[in-house]
Amino acid sequence: MKSLSKSILAVVVLAVLAVGGYLGWSAMEQKPVAPNASFSLLDGKTVDLSSYRGKVLLVNFWATSCTTCVGEMPDLVKTYDALHPKGFDLVAVAMSYDNPTFVSHFTQQRQLPFSVAYDASGQTAKAFKDVRLTPTSFLIDKSGHIVKQYVGSPNFAELHQLIDRLLAQQA
């Protein structure tokens, strides 16, 4: 009877160690580094992703023809307005198949407060895991690692909590 209890105890201890080791290992996994990409902004400037180091950044791929993209823009504006003073930034990257005139008109009409880029060549979308579906967003921490990828609109309450945690971390 004692040997059976010891055997069960040993199995339980091994299981706990195995699960703990697995969870510990996955917590230590390295987050992917954001690609070395650049953005062609609507004002004609080109900005490298590396210039956002030290900030928490959301890169949002979108199109004016995408109803979900257009629908989430007010939430992106609210997110930017609330968190930009704390060190958050946002770049909305219009897809290569979008009409540049529509992108410019949309940006002006909605008075988007964040940077808007037009990915004419499609190279920026390719650099970010070959994005094809919109909206697709990448949340990047202060050290330039991709923390989360969203396909479709994110849960904005959860996104705000995650951004707040990332803003509180050291770069």
* Helix pair angle (156-168, 67-83), 10° resolution: 40
Give the CATH number, domain containing residue 42: 3.40.30.10
* pTM of the predicted protein model: 0.82
17 plus 64 within the same structural domain: no
Is the pLDDT confidence value at 88 over 80?
yes
Residue 23 shares a structural domain with residue 55: no
Instruction: Report pLDDT for 29.
Output: 59
Antiparallel, parallel or unpaired: β 56-62 and 88-94: parallel
The whole domain housing 25 covers 1-30
Task: Encode pLDDT of 120-144 as tens digits.
Answer: 999 999 999 999 999 999 999 999 9
Q: How many contiguous H segments (helices) and E segments (strands) does the chain have? A: 5, 7
Residues 164 and 80 in one domain: yes
96 in the same domain as 138: yes
